[in-house]
Amino acid sequence: MAKTIAEINEKIRKGKAVVVTAEEVIDIAKEKGVKRAAEEIDVVTTGTFSPMCGSGAFLNIGHSKPRIKLGGGKVYLNDIPVYTGMAAVDIFLGATALPDDDPRNKFYPGEFNYGGGHVIEELIAGKDIRLTAAAYGTDCYPRKKLETLINIKDINEAILFNIRNAYQNYNVAVNLSDKVIYTYMGVLKSNLGNANYCSAGQLSPLLNDPYYKTIGVGTKIFLGGGIGYVAWHGTQHNPTALRGDNGVPRRGAGTLAVIGDLKQMKMGWLVGTSMLGYGATLTVGIGVPIPILSEEILRYTLVTDADILAPVVDYSEAYPQMKPDILGEVSYAELKSGHIKVQGKDVPTASLSSYPKAVEIANILKKWIERGEFLLTEPVAPLPGIESGITFKPLKERPI
Amino acid sequence: MNVSRRIVLHFPPNITGQPVVYRLVKDFGLTFNILKASVSPGQEGLLVMELSGEQKNYDKGIKYLTEAGVEIQSLSQDVVRDESQCTHCGACITICPTEAFSLEPKTRKVLFDHNKCVVCGLCVKACPPRAMILYF
Ligand code: SF4
Ligand code: SF4
């Protein structure tokens, strides 16, 4: 019964494709059986909506008169420093960048109310952004100063390029110490006061395609409310992470690098985010369609929260000190029940990843495909899998 | 003149556990009604209470608490949620001492019960997209 992407696209064009979300598919397969479900269903849509620090945008602001070479100079967008080490008027705005005068953690815990992620959100909202630049001046680019408002609709390009997003599984963060700690996993109360997790679980893209059999370089996706593509595997991609019998990673494993035109992305799907005591970042909405090419592919999408285990990690000691110790494993079904047991203690859980938004993303993508507006792409290269032997390495420090 | 006010007390770890509150009764003749407490030895603590008594004793009591290092917030403020900013992540659920946030089981949307909120302010900075807003 194996289908091809071309055949599925033919059905999408005719408005006849059967599309369900990674949540819906679970019950459908239970009811109809895996074989029939795999025959009937063409696409399973996934979604995730989480803070993702590995995000940022390339902008080409156009040439001023006279010309200015921002490359090698200093540029700020709404007081947020951007990277200029490229061509004359290309800049890179990183999600975690902070204003030079932000007190950071000098007043602990720092609030980080405004950073690069917030500028990205305001760009999408169509707001004017203040650009201030200082350059050194050359014969062909004589200008040394530039202060202007820019707007996403006027600049040449605005390209979201996130080098690491959509982690395939993640840690559950707790705090064993006797004081509150402020982490990228949120505020962690002392003595196992709470446990924070960050994954859409059964709806998460890479957890529905654990061996990267359909998701590859070039896969067209939902990105920030618009269309994007998988550009590469993300940094720290770790396909050889510990996996369960079902193939599902039990640790952080695969990641995606994604790219897309920021100009067509929409408010609400890229949200400037502030992690108390940690920093600023961007919350990103991503949805990936999985073509049901075979029964095997469908089987992977049937993964439920109960089948996905995540490690519980102490962020007061083990995480910062790079100790491999974990305090046990829990399933997303347990996490979503509101309480988990850690060291015999009942610990209330909270999520940093929004499940309602993940559901919304999977449903929007489903609608796009059903309406024939979104065709699937054939990956042009696979993501490195287990056979690549790629592992996530710590830094080897060597004296200079 | 008698006054009665709802206040939030934030205790630094070093004075939590000291019978600070009871001195309000003994030394200043105030009465209190604890609405919410999360105080354990050696940790930062939080106490929400209604404190009542003679105005001048009340003022003295507040002065005593401040000098003892307790941070005091009055509940004349209000915390509301900007619904357009809330992403329903759920990070606030375990932060709130009065369980003002809860999950709607089916949709996993985060519900905010304004009536349960005692305006402690903890969620305001802990909310990643800053959807919880404190009004003075
Ligand atoms: S932490 Fe903020 S955004 Fe998240 S659910 Fe609570 S109020 Fe909404
Ligand atoms: S201010 Fe926030 S954390 Fe404090 S009681 Fe109200 S809702 Fe709960």
Give CA B21 to chain center in angstroms.
15
Average pLDDT of the residues in A73-77? 98
pLDDT at A270 over 80: yes
B5 in Cβ contact with B51 (< 8 Å): yes
Give CA A251 to chain center in angstroms.
16
Residue type, position B14, single letter: N
pLDDT, chain B, mean: 86
Q: Name the closest ligand to CA B121.
A: 2
Q: What is the pLDDT of residue B18?
A: 65
- The number of residues making up chain B comes to 136
Would you call B52 exposed, middle or buried from its count of C-beta atoms within 10 A (0-12, 13-18, 19+)?
Answer: middle
Same domain assignment for residues A170 and A151: no
A321 in Cβ contact with A217 (< 8 Å): no
Q: Which helix (H) or strand (E) holds A124?
A: helix A116-124
Instruction: Choose the residue to mutate in B79, B92, B133 for probing ligand 1, maximizing ligand atoms within 8 Å of C-beta.
Output: B92
Q: What is the pLDDT of residue B41?
A: 65
ipTM of the complex: 0.92
Nearest to A286 by CA among A170, A113, A152, A164: A164
Q: Is residue A392, in this structure, part of any structural domain at all?
A: no
pLDDT at A346 over 90: yes
Last-in-domain residue among A137, A160, A183: A160
Q: Is residue A255, in this structure, part of any structural domain at all?
A: yes
Same domain assignment for residues A222 and A370: yes
Dihedral of alpha carbons A188, A194, A200, A202, sign = positive
C-alpha angle B88-B94-B95 in degrees, rounded to nearest 5: 95
C-alpha distances out from residue A113 to A311, B62, B125, Å: 30, 32, 9
pLDDT at A1 over 70: no
> Which of B76 and A104 is assigned the larger pLDDT?
A104
Same domain assignment for residues A244 and A290: yes
* pLDDT tens per residue, range A174-194: 999 999 999 999 999 999 999
Same domain assignment for residues A64 and A32: no
Same domain assignment for residues A149 and A172: no
Q: What is the β-pairing status of strands B78-81 and B132-135?
A: antiparallel
Q: Is residue A238, in this structure, part of any structural domain at all?
A: yes
Would you call A387 exposed, middle or buried from its count of C-beta atoms within 10 A (0-12, 13-18, 19+)?
Answer: exposed
What is the number of other CB atoms lying within 10 angstroms of the CB of residue A45?
31
Q: Is residue A393, in this structure, part of any structural domain at all?
A: no
Cβ separation A196–B94 shorter than 8 A: yes
Q: What percent of chain A has pLDDT over 70?
A: 100
Structural domains counted in chain A = 2
Residue type, position A66, single letter: P
Q: Which of A111, A178, A353 sits opposite B89 (nearest CB)?
A: A353
Q: Is residue A380, in this structure, part of any structural domain at all?
A: no
Same domain assignment for residues A171 and A154: no
Average pLDDT of the residues in B30-38? 82
* pLDDT tens per residue, range A217-246: 999 999 999 999 999 999 999 999 999 999
Same domain assignment for residues A122 and A60: yes
Same domain assignment for residues A308 and A223: yes
Same domain assignment for residues A308 and A257: yes
pLDDT at A309 over 90: yes
End-to-end CA distance of chain B: 25
B108 in Cβ contact with A372 (< 8 Å): no
Using 50, 70 and 90 to split pLDDT, how confident is the model at A289?
A: very high
Q: What is the pLDDT of residue B2?
A: 80
Q: How far is the CA of A237 from the centre of ligand 1 (A)?
A: 29
Q: Which of A140, A322, A395, A400 is catalytic?
A: A140
Q: Which domains does chain B have, with CATH numbers?
A: 2-74 (3.30.70.260), 78-135 (3.30.70.20)
Same domain assignment for residues A177 and A149: no
Range of the domain at A109: 56-160
Last-in-domain residue among A160, A191, A207: A160
pLDDT at B17 over 90: no
Average pLDDT of the residues in A17-37? 98
Task: Find where tokens 């598919």 sit.
Answer: A25
3-state secondary structure of B60: helix
End-to-end CA distance of chain A: 60
The residue of chain B with its CA nearest to that of A360 is B107
A2 in Cβ contact with A294 (< 8 Å): yes
Q: Atom 6 (ligand 2): residue with closest C-alpha?
A: B117
Q: What is the pLDDT of residue A2?
A: 79
* pLDDT tens per residue, range A124-174: 999 999 999 999 999 999 999 999 999 999 999 999 999 999 999 999 999
Same domain assignment for residues A156 and A170: no
Q: Is residue A391, in this structure, part of any structural domain at all?
A: no
Lowest mean pLDDT among A149-153, A249-253, A338-342, B113-117: B113-117
A349 in Cβ contact with B94 (< 8 Å): yes
pLDDT, chain A, mean: 97
Q: What is the pLDDT of residue B42?
A: 66
Q: Is residue A304, in this structure, part of any structural domain at all?
A: yes
Q: Is residue A398, in this structure, part of any structural domain at all?
A: no
Q: State the pTM of this model.
A: 0.87
Average pLDDT of the residues in A90-113? 97
Last-in-domain residue among A109, A132, A160: A160
Q: Which helix (H) or strand (E) holds A275?
A: strand A270-275
Same domain assignment for residues A224 and A366: yes
- Those residues of chain B whose CB sits closer than 8 Å to some CB in chain A are 13, 40, 42-44, 85, 87-95, 103, 107-109, 125-126, 128-130
3-state secondary structure of B38: strand
| Helix ranges (DSSP H) in A168-317 | 295-301
Q: What is the β-pairing status of strands A19-21 and A279-287?
A: unpaired
Lowest mean pLDDT among A222-231, A297-306, A358-367, B24-33: B24-33
Q: Name the closest ligand to CA A353.
A: 1
Cβ separation A352–B128 shorter than 8 A: yes
| A140 is an active site residue | yes
Average pLDDT of the residues in B60-87? 86
